[in-house]
Structure 1
């Protein structure tokens, strides 16, 4: 049952901790699920509950401005965020904070999941570190009887520049997908979902619409 929960979790969350050696990761309970193309996917579970945690560490071509532009482009999430069925902006409070609604498509017979999320950016000039945090916002959107509302969600990124055109990202996420999970969908490959998520982000950072963007909070 844990494998499908992790699969759901990979599809539903995409937003860290400083990178550490694999030996230290293992001592913290992280299991290395996939290591390919400079993308490492780790997972762990909190006790015997449904709460799952994911960590992705990767090095990808791009800039912090391109990443902020991509994550701010909610309308394009179905094209750039793995597993997104639809997404729409609810409210943009400022350049560094907005709230959106997202529906994630899951394999039949599992119902699609939905939630409202508040995402915020923060930049630390001293270390040239971009931090991104996302949290579920409960009761903001009325429930849909055809969907299962995600019960708990929080995630964050820590982003550094390796050089002018390369990013080093550490991403962690914690989620309870809610609802029941039929045993027949137990065998989905979780690590593939996480790998695909960051592959899509990597490949879309170079899209023309994300080039030449500037943000005042990172000046």
Structure 2
């Protein structure tokens, strides 16, 4: 009986510890934008999650995400983004460059953007394709990046966004520095995205 109790205790608390390590921790809650981080299942880098609402329609969000050339209007640290290939109306491969503060070298990234819309939910995935193009010596190629969007409509006609993001920026940036600044970029990006969509939403409503 004691052995069974001991085994149960080990299993229970071991599971509880693992669950706690992988649970989301709120890091920032401002302007209706909640930013969470958690330890990844492997490695030392954290994963990120953003929860917020957007004044926009699905079509307005989709068109903004597919407007690759204008990412610098809202994507944090974006220098340049260009479409490399349109695989379908829902799937695009694009190239993007990010400016980072000195002495960290700028990064570049190739992304496959895949949009899947159903009547109930809009699912979006943006995953890195690091070997799609030869590397540019002026940039460090991001070896891994994955962003997912789970978007639903709220009763008050807003878009409820559940966004997750994980990245390995490559190069020699210490993990502690990546983790310490992980929430900055996505928070600022969503602030600008929300304002951009709000302007579009008002303009489209006035036009109707």
Q: Tell me the TM-score normalized by structure 1.
A: 0.76
Partner of 1:90: 84
Larger radius of gyration: 2
* Correspondence for 2:186 among 186, 191, 194: 194
After TM superposition, the structure 1 stretch with the greater mean CA deviation from structure 2, 67-76 or 143-152, is: 143-152
Distance change (3 Å), C-alpha of 1:211 and 1:28: farther
Offset of 1:164 from its aligned partner?
Answer: 6.0
Point out where structure 1 has 5 or more consecutive residues left out of the alignment: 1-24, 213-219
1:29 to 4, 17, 23: 23
Matched, 1:136 2:128: yes
Distance 1:93 1:42, change over 3 A: same
Distance 1:116 1:192, change over 3 A: closer
> Using a 3 Å threshold, how does the CA distance of structure 1 residues 140 and 78 change in structure 2: closer, same or farther?
same
* Structure 2 Cα separation of the partners of residues 55 and 186 of structure 1: 15
Alignment of 1:50-89 (within 5 A): 50-89=44-83
The whole-number CA distance in structure 1 between the counterparts of 2:104 and 2:166 is 20
The whole-number CA distance in structure 1 between the counterparts of 2:178 and 2:25 is: 18
Evaluate the alpha carbon distance shift between residue 189 and residue 181 of structure 1 in structure 2; reply closer, same or farther with a 3 A threshold.
closer
* 1:123 pairs with one of 108, 117, 122: 117
Task: Give the deviation of 1:188 after TM superposition.
Answer: 6.2
Judging by fraction of residues, say which structure has more helix.
Answer: 2
How many aligned residue pairs are there? 186
Q: Is the 8 A contact 1:57 1:171 kept in 2?
A: yes
Alpha-carbon spacing, 1:111–1:26, altered in 2? closer, same or farther (3 Å): same
In the aligned structure 1, how far is the partner of 2:41 from the partner of 2:122?
31
C-alpha change, 1:157 and 1:182, in structure 2 (3 Å) is closer
Which residue in the other structure is 1:11 paired with?
A: none
Shift of 1:115: 1.2
CA contact (8 A) 2:54 2:197 kept: no
SS class of match (1:110): coil
Q: Which has the higher contact order (CA 8 A, sep 6+)?
A: 1
Q: In 2, distance between residues paired with 1:79 and 1:28?
A: 33
Structure 1 residue 169 and structure 2 residue 169: aligned? no
